[in-house]
Structure 1
Amino acid sequence: MTPSPMDPRPSAKKNRIDSLAATAGGGTATAVKDVHVSAAGKVGDTGGVSLIASAWARLRRNPVFLLGAAITLVFVVLALVAPWIAPHDASKRIPELLDDLRPGAIPGPRDGFPLGSDEFGRDLLSRLLVGARQTLIVGVFATIFGLTGGLVLGTLAGALGGWVDSVVMRVVDVMLSIPSLLLAVSIAALAPRPSQWTVIIAIATVQVPIFARLLRGSMLAQRSSDHVLAARALGVKPQAIIFRHMLPNSLGPVIVQSTLVLATSIIDAAGLSFLGLGNSDDRQPEWGQMLGEAQRLIQDYPHLAFYPAICIIIVALGFTLMGESLREALDPKSRR
């Protein structure tokens, strides 16, 4: 229904709109044609936010990451200062404990020895603290060596492609087809004399295919990215494209994976030491080694196995929580 020109309602509606506009403008109506761009103000330049800064902004509000980082920090600090804060020498038998050490009787907690003694009259707390350092050494070096090998294979496969990619990935597939602990046990068993380095090499070898496959996938995604195509169009050398453009932009997921691999390395190292494939010298305690020594007495003295086991579980949990939080913060598909 078309309103009549004499109908006062359109005029009343227009007046109402004009009054609202005047009220919103502070009582002074300004025509649109009289408004200049300079009167609209300026937008402040806040700058861009990098991926790392954006991830850190989310991580510092994530209680899961803070818990994992706190556990990891405590573990690393204790491992570094263990020889200085251990109340007793972890490799020596304590005379005060030997006085009450008898066949079938192991001294329990007492003044100066909060966790008691092991079966040889050595302070259990001191051995746990010193064992943290050995566990950290095995986990860190195994991860570094595995990461290095994975970087070499992943770079060759992802950058060169072709038959090189096929050969490298078939080797990786064969290694991944074998259960990781079984492969580590097989490699460690080849050593004529078990040692700490035997465990490190065995675990590092198991971790190589994990890093290689992950890096290869990231580099394949970078090969078709715009900045790599632009570099090729400009005539940049292939080596420069690989090491200055593709590889640096592919390391993010690999670095995050290394935090998760640390947890796995600690558990695998404990498993190998438990089986007797690690360092046989008990003067240098390690949590897996302590766990293996306690299995004979677990029915009568379960605390000898409980303390090293709970240390392994808590430390592995700390690295896992921190790694999963990093992955969620850096991966846009899993951000919440």
Structure 2
Amino acid sequence: MSPSKKNPLTSFGDRRKQQIDELAETSVGDDAGVSLIASAWRRLRRNPVFLIGLAITVLFVVLALISPWLAPWDPSDNPMIDEVRRQTNPVPGPEAGHPLGGDDRGRDLLSRLLVGSRQTLFVGVFATLFGLAGGLVLGTLAGALSGWVDSAVMRLVDVMLSIPSLLLAFSIAALSSRPSQWTVIIAIATIQVPIFARLLRGSMLAQRVSDHVLAARALGVNPAAIVFRHMLPNALGPVIVQATLVLATAIIDAAALSFLGLGNPDDRQPEWGQMLGRATAYINDYPHLAVYPALCIIVVALGFTLMGESLREALDPKSRR
């Protein structure tokens, strides 16, 4: 073979080697890879649905925190009681100093709505936290251990999920001899436990077969360290997102139980569901007593739902655009 004629396979191999060398020498520019959180935030800050939900949620939390100082009147005082007594109208209308009017006991309606937001936030947040804590315990046991532990936990979760959530919460709250906010919190937290447990268990099972967990087992890492350092932290993402969605459901369920009379019976501490329940006696003649707290519940639940759905979409690789 003459030296001027080269082997085609050798020429192809040389060109291939040259292309690989050029790619290796190419420096990474500004379009370097980013973490999942940073990538999700890039999409979220351009998502109008998330921004609307975030604005509603932040406004609700801020109003709930500063409501005692923002309310123009004490929600337990009745500055309009004289009008209730001397008029045939049992519910005073709007007037100077009382832009939304009063209720049937002469109490300022705007002040009660503002202070009621704090009680609603209190119940929703603590019910979600307690439900999340219980779900973390059961989900970790089921996902980290196999065999009869996983089967027993999942059968318990299946039984709880087979009962309608509101009916189960109503039954738990009705067992208390003295209804209070804490009975509502415990009832709502109980119905949220199986939701978090099943979701965390699925995430933990996916982590058990991941490469980093298999590598840790091959290196002889302590099983407890594998669970709490490698599996659990990487499985919490979907659970945290689900908590924002469940918080909206917790607020609605808390309002439903208070509406049915299973919440705090002391109306000196207003709560939106409680206010909605008292308004049923005047729903035909004075529907605004029910409209205002109902709108507050709907708007706040919508804010948490929009924010939670946007977070789940941004963190889900299958739904990236």
Same fold per superposition (TM over 0.5): yes
Secondary structure in 2 aligned to 1:90? coil
Letter in 1 for 2:83: D
User: Which residue in 1 is equivalent to 2:18?
Assistant: none
Q: Which has the larger radius of gyration?
A: 1
Deviation at 1:316, TM superposition (A): 0.2
User: Which residue in 2 is equivalent to 1:116?
Assistant: 101
- For residues 96-123 of structure 1, give each alpha carbon's deviation from its aligned partner in whole angstroms, at most 9, with x where no partner exists: x223214543111111100000000000
User: Which residue in 2 is equivalent to 1:217?
Assistant: 202
Mapped partners of 1:229, 1:99: distance in 2: 75
Secondary structure in 1 aligned to 2:83? coil
User: Which residue in 2 is equivalent to 1:10?
Assistant: none
Query: Where do 5+ consecutive residues of structure 2 fail to align?
Result: 1-20
1:56 matches 2:41: yes
Q: Structure 2 residue aligned with 1:43, among 2, 9, 27?
A: 27
Letter in 1 for 2:110: L
Secondary structure in 2 aligned to 1:99? helix
Query: Where do 5+ consecutive residues of structure 1 fail to align?
Result: 1-36
Deviation at 1:181, TM superposition (A): 0.3
Mapped partners of 2:151, 2:280: distance in 1: 46
Q: Structure 2 residue aligned with 1:263, among 248, 251, 255?
A: 248
Letter in 2 for 1:43: S
Mapped partners of 2:313, 2:280: distance in 1: 39
Mapped partners of 2:185, 2:234: distance in 1: 29
Mapped partners of 1:74, 1:290: distance in 2: 21
Q: Structure 2 residue aligned with 1:191, among 168, 176, 195?
A: 176
User: Which residue in 2 is equivalent to 1:296?
Assistant: 281
Letter in 1 for 2:44: L
Secondary structure in 1 aligned to 2:113? helix
User: Percent identity between the aligned chains?
Assistant: 78
User: Which residue in 2 is equivalent to 1:136?
Assistant: 121
User: Which residue in 1 is equivalent to 2:92?
Assistant: 107
- For residues 74-108 of structure 1, give each alpha carbon's deviation from its aligned partner in whole angstroms, at most 9, with x where no partner exists: 000000000001000001110xx223214543111
Letter in 2 for 1:207: Q
Letter in 1 for 2:81: L
Letter in 1 for 2:82: D
CA RMSD of aligned residues (A): 1.4
Secondary structure in 1 aligned to 2:294? helix
Taking structure 1 as the reference length, what is the TM-score of the superposition? 0.86
User: Which residue in 2 is equivalent to 1:154?
Assistant: 139
Secondary structure in 2 aligned to 1:113? coil
Mapped partners of 2:171, 2:26: distance in 1: 68
1:328 matches 2:313: yes
User: Which residue in 1 is equivalent to 2:81?
Assistant: 98
Letter in 1 for 2:287: P
Secondary structure in 2 aligned to 1:100? helix
Deviation at 1:209, TM superposition (A): 0.2
Deviation at 1:41, TM superposition (A): 8.4
Mapped partners of 2:90, 2:163: distance in 1: 44
Letter in 2 for 1:219: M
Deviation at 1:333, TM superposition (A): 1.1
User: Which residue in 1 is equivalent to 2:228?
Assistant: 243
Indicate how the Cα distance of structure 1 residues 41 and 169 shifts in structure 2: closer, same or farther if over 3 A, else same.
closer
